[in-house]
Amino acid sequence: MALKGLDIFKLTPKTNCKDCGNPTCMAFAMKVAQGTVALEKCPHMSPEALKTLGEATEPPMKSLKVGAGANEHGLGGETVLFRHEKTFVSKCFYGVVVCAECIDKKLPNLQKIDYERIGERMSVEFLNVLYQGDKAAFLETVKKAQAAKRTLILEVDDEDAAKAALDIVKADKPILNGANEKNYAAFNKLAAEAGVTLGVTGPSLDSIHDTVAALEAAGNKNLVIDVGASSAKEVFARAVQIRRAALKDGDRSSGYPVIVNLYRVAKGDHELQTALAALFTMKYGSIILLEDLSYSQALPLYGLRQNIYTDPQKPMKVEPGVYPINGADENAICATTVDFALTYFIVSGELERSGVPVNLLISDAGGYSVLTAWAAGKLSASSVARFIKEKDIEGKIKNRNLVIPGKVAVLKGELEENLPGWKIIVAPNEAVGAVKFLKELKV
């Protein structure tokens, strides 16, 4: 576990210096313990003390980078078991298992899953290339997977096939997932030479732990753990035990990101794999691999992930702007609501159901709900009018009818004063009433 302030103070020099931001090194030590300042900021720290303290103050779960360029992803770094305790650091990622026989069929479907939701790109981030005993077919599959421009996981336990695959894709920084209690020395050498992350697996948690410890002793801490196992119960138990051992028991040999392969658990049952993927999104898969992933499966999974892996103290917001609904053009009526993502999706969904073309105006309301934004002064007649002027809405949209949320009907009079020539219409209090309201609206 991380050292406390007093522990750090014992290893820091007792020298007054301006680098600490305070006249005493005690203050500096406390700042390091709180994670607000880096150890390297103290010029008096010896290399030995930096090494000792650096390792001790790292999070109990190792932070790693895999992939390269636009496909680089951060894994690990977690400090809590539950989101409400603090926040999760690194979101989980989804991947699909491909092999020589299936890759040509799966790749076109995966390309369809690529969209943006609340400022975040949603796509299949990983391709797990499965070795099935044929080296030539495996290498050809690796080349095809590389062309898909996703981060690769090479699931291979054959040393020659692994080396040949790394020669092709090592610049893309894939994960070499194949080390076990029998071959870890050879695979450790391959991973070190290629500069890639090494995946460790085994028939039991004890076996995995011993292999990780042996690799750490050899100087390799650029690792991920493949929990193995072929039953949902065992996979879940291992994922939870690994995370608890790292965060609660301080076992750093368990403190690595985890790969959960649902292809092994529920082969052929895509619905069960989707349900299990939702489970491991919450507890505790770092990379979750599925047999395949359709657009309809991806939508709920990515929505769940975005809800779980965001700071609970920072509400999700959509970008302020004009959102045409149902093919709205410059002659369509306007409606407005806040930028809180949940409110936006509920309102826009009801507007779509109505079938009426509407230009939905989203102004900056601090990410609050309607009433909270109004109470905080973030949603007001002046803020809406200012948004309309700054975005030149009047120059882009000819229609001068503006529908406002029913819960802030009090803004109607002031809005009419701030927006001469506009007709302000009060909508129902609840979004569900928007369908009937818009269909019957006469303007």
Q: Which of 359, 362, 348 is nearest to 320 (CA)?
A: 362
How far is the C-alpha of 430 from the C-alpha of 443, rounded, in Å? 21
Intervals of CATH 3.20.20.20 along the chain: 63-308
- Token pair 């309102």 is found at 347
Intervals of CATH 3.40.50.11600 along the chain: 321-440
Domain 321-440, architecture per CATH:
3-Layer(aba) Sandwich (3.40)
Amino acid identity, position 236: F
Q: Which residues contact 402 (CB under 8 A, 6 or more apart)?
A: 333, 334, 335, 336, 361, 415, 419, 422, 423, 424, 425
Q: What is the pLDDT along the chain (443 residues), one digit of tens a residue?
A: 444 444 544 444 444 454 444 445 666 666 666 656 666 677 666 676 666 666 666 788 999 999 999 999 999 999 999 888 888 889 999 999 999 999 999 999 888 898 888 778 899 999 999 999 999 999 999 999 999 999 999 999 999 999 999 999 999 999 999 999 999 999 999 999 999 999 999 999 999 999 999 999 999 999 999 998 889 999 999 999 999 999 999 999 999 999 999 999 999 999 999 999 999 999 999 999 999 999 889 999 999 998 888 876 677 889 999 999 999 999 999 999 999 988 999 999 999 999 999 999 999 998 889 999 999 999 999 999 999 999 999 999 999 999 999 999 999 999 999 999 999 999 999 998 999 999 998 87
CB 259 within 8 A of CB 227: yes
CATH, range 5-56: 1.10.15.40
Q: φ, ψ for residue 171 (rounded to 5)?
A: -65, -20
Q: Which of 60, 63, 85 is nearest to 76 (CA)?
A: 63
How far is the C-alpha of 322 from the C-alpha of 329, rounded, in Å? 11
For the segment(s) 63-308, the CATH number from 1.10.645.10, 3.40.50.1240, 3.40.50.720, 3.20.20.20 is 3.20.20.20
Intervals of CATH 1.10.15.40 along the chain: 5-56
